[in-house]
Structure 1
Amino acid sequence: MKWYNALKDYQHYLKIERGLSSNSIENYSYDIKKLINYLVENTISESPISIDDTLVKEFIYHISKSLNPRSQARLISGLRNFFDYLIFENYRTTNPLDLIESPKIGRKLPDTLSVEDIDLLISTIDLSYQYQGINLGERNRAILETLYSCGLRVSELINLKLSDLFFDEGFIKVTGKGDKQRFVPIGKTTQNYIMIWKSIRNHIAVQPNSKDILFLNYKGKKLTRAMVFTIIKKLVEKSGLKKNVSPHTFRHSFATHLLENGADLRAIQMMLGHESITTTEIYMHVDRSHLSEVLNKYHPRK
């Protein structure tokens, strides 16, 4: 069995059997491609079936010099899953990573913005900004408001469709990881900003494959993930905010602010689209001072 054939089979398995999205499949494949490149560069002819733990250890040692512990752990986990798949398909009987330990890493707490930070970033947007006759300032405000008000992943935002908007019911339909769909509440303020953008969008010559996409560039095409990152990066620089902010920061802030204001963890899990509530529980560690205040206020043994 050749490496690229094995990788292609694995990607097919992730798509059909696991129901993963294209982005997730690419992430799973990334570290396997690194291993393949390492073998090619060093003229090593071992196949996915014959490669042993010694060679895998050499590769991990080689590549880990430039990786932090978290990235090393992800690398090892990704390769372990790949070889588990080969065992599942009866190509191998052992996993060469079984005896390789992942580096110990602390639990990374998500970065968050305060409500004042978010207000600052949104107020920094030039609502009169136009490019090629299209008002992109209003679009950018609608994007930030949607990220924060609905807790979306950036991939969910750029794939949001006009047909996913159920404003009369107060919800939007979101397609998340593994193409799993969920309904997320959306407030009137954010609805209004989206409606303003929709009225501008009506004057754009939309490309055929983006007819139902909500957020477009001036060419009438769906926005890329990189473009959303760029929009936010420029706003952060312009605002003078001294924080590392990405689209995901708005999602973290959405969950944190809900929890701080008394929202039920299970409800937050459903809105975020987390498969396991243990993923959502990380927000319980974000603001310990708030939890202490809750205890002091509501528990009889203060």
Structure 2
Amino acid sequence: MPSEANSRVLSGFLDYLKVEKGLAPLTVSAYATDIGQFSAFLEKHKRSLLNAQRSEVRDFIQELFANSVDGRSVGRKLSALRHLYRYLLLDKHIEHDPTLNIDSPKQWKVLPKSLAHDEVEAVLRGPQRLSGPLAEAISARDRAMLEMFYAGALRVSEIVGVKLEDLKLDLGYVLVRGKGDKERIVPLGKSAQESLALYMKGARTVLAKGRSTPLLFLGRSARKLTRQRVWQMVQAASAGMGRHASPHMLRHSCATHMVENGADLRTVQTILGHSDISTTQVYTHVALDRLKSVYQKHHPRAKAR
């Protein structure tokens, strides 16, 4: 149910379309549906049509793509919003048009889903601490893998293939072999180093059961972990927060949080193992939003007097 304020705005705009623009009933109905959807999105975030920001228009479009809405439909919805805000601007209901400089859907890339900081913390706390040598070893392994996923933005295929010799714990990095067998050095933070040290201290030996294997992360009896098993482990670790995470979400959370905290795209590209910077540029809107936020906060003339 739209709020009273949004209902008034929408009603006035639809009257304008019918009376002044002379649009057909079906066309007006399509406008009503598209703008109503944006209105509902805003209300979930405690905003209204009259105070919507450019970032919220972008987030709305991003959500549409994430829900597999096709580009043509997204383009129609964006066009409806452009018409609405042009009308509101001309009638002096607003001072700024939040749809200005929004790329057309053809130019958008879907930003991979990532977790918020507190959600990542919940996942990292997720592995169950069961009693017994084997259960404790599995728990230590899972915690170390989760920390490495988030610290180094590894893919599933990369983490199950990491070898013991690739881990340089004393130097704080791991050598990763990615797509096309390309190697890259990925730094590991203190938390990841501590979890890996704990895993190496005894848990790996318990899982190896005297068998020799070059792999870092082991299944029972030194077996190689399957991709499916790793996915199941991440999903189980995220069950407590009410949202199913995946290994790829941890990878993209690492990249998103780095950009949010000011990392340049070349550094993120290196850590992710992207051969082309254009693949990493899907994260640029995060950097732009942060840039705008920092500017508004720190520039002496950023705010109206």
For the pair 1:205 / 2:209, whether they are aligned, the reply is yes
Question: In structure 1, what is the equivalent of residue 293 of structure 2?
Answer: 293
> In 2, distance between residues paired with 1:231 and 1:133?
13
Contact 2:153/2:254, CA 8 A, preserved across alignment: yes
Percentage of pairs with the same residue: 37
Deviation at 1:186, TM superposition (A): 0.8
Report the CA distance between 1:128 and its aligned residue: 3.0
User: Could you say which residue in structure 1 is the equivalent of 2:148?
Assistant: 146
* Gap change, CA 1:130 and 1:137, over 3 Å in 2: farther
How far residue 105 of structure 1 moved from its aligned partner, in angstroms, is: 9.3
Q: Offset of 1:170 from its aligned partner? A: 1.7
Return the offset for 1:286.
Answer: 4.3
1:136-192 deviations in Å (ceiling 9; x for gaps):
111111111000011111111111111001122221100000000010111222111
Matched, 1:123 2:94: no
What displacement does 1:246 show?
0.9
Task: Decide whether the 8 Å contact of 1:69 with 1:105 is kept in 2.
Answer: no
Match of 1:241 in 2: 242
C-alpha contact 1:151 1:250 (8 A) present in aligned 2 = yes
- The code of the aligned residue for 2:153 comes to G
Q: Which residue number in structure 2 is paired with residue 228 of structure 1?
A: 230
Partner in structure 2 of residue 218 of structure 1? 220
Deviations 1:219-277 (A, max 9, x none): 2111111101011122222x0423x4210000100001000111111111111111011
Specify the code of the residue in structure 1 equivalent to 2:204: R
The count of aligned residue pairs is: 199
State the 4+ residue runs in structure 1 displaced beyond 6 angstroms: none
Q: CA distance change for structure 1 residues 282 and 133 in 2, over 3 Å: closer, same or farther?
A: closer
Q: CA RMSD for the aligned pairs?
A: 2.6
Q: How much has 1:126 moved relative to structure 2? A: 1.5
How do residues 1-302 of structure 1 correspond to structure 2 at under 5 angstroms?
Answer: 107-128=109-130, 135-198=137-200, 199-203=202-206, 204-205=208-209, 207-208=211-212, 211-237=213-239, 239-242=240-243, 244-286=244-286, 289-297=289-297, 302=302
| Structure that is richer in helix per residue | 2
TM superposition shift of 1:295:
3.4
Residue type of the partner of 1:161?
K
- Match of 1:172, SS? strand
Q: Is the 8 A contact 2:259 2:287 kept in 1?
A: no
Note the C-alpha offset of 1:127: 2.6
Paired letter, 2:199: W
In 2, the alpha carbon distance for the partners of 1:161 and 1:125 equals: 23
Q: How much has 1:130 moved relative to structure 2?
A: 5.0
Distance 2:134 2:294 in 1: 52
Q: Provide the TM-score with structure 1 as the length reference.
A: 0.60
Q: Which runs of 5+ in 1 are unaligned?
A: 1-67, 71-103
Q: Give the partner amino acid of 2:137.
A: N
Aligned to 2:63: none
CA displacement 1:269-288 (0-9 Å, x = unmatched): 11111101111110113476
Instruction: State the shift of 1:217 in Å.
Output: 0.8
Name the amino acid aligned to 2:184: R
Amino acid aligned to 2:113: D
TM-score by length of 2: 0.59
Structure 2: tracts of 5 or more residues without a match: 1-67, 71-105
Q: What is the rounded CA distance, in whole Å, between the counterparts of 1:111 and 1:291 in structure 2?
A: 21
Work out the CA distance in 2 between the residues paired with 1:294 and 1:105: 26
The whole-number CA distance in structure 1 between the counterparts of 2:238 and 2:130 is 18
Q: Secondary structure at the match of 2:186?
A: strand
Displacement after TM superposition at 1:107 (Å):
2.1
SS in 2 for 1:135: helix
Q: Is the contact between residue 129 and residue 135 of structure 1 (CA under 8 Å) also seen in structure 2?
A: no
8 A contact 1:131–1:218 mirrored in 2: no
Q: Aligned letter for 1:205?
A: K
Measured in 1, the distance between the counterparts of 2:135 and 2:125 equals 22
For residue 146 of structure 1, what is the amino acid of its counterpart? M
3-state secondary structure, aligned to 1:183: strand
CA distance in structure 2 between the aligned counterparts of 1:117 and 1:256, rounded to whole angstroms: 13
Asked if the contact 1:129/1:136 (under 8 Å) is kept, the reply is no
> Are 2:127 and 2:236, in contact at CA under 8 Å, matched by a contact in 1?
no
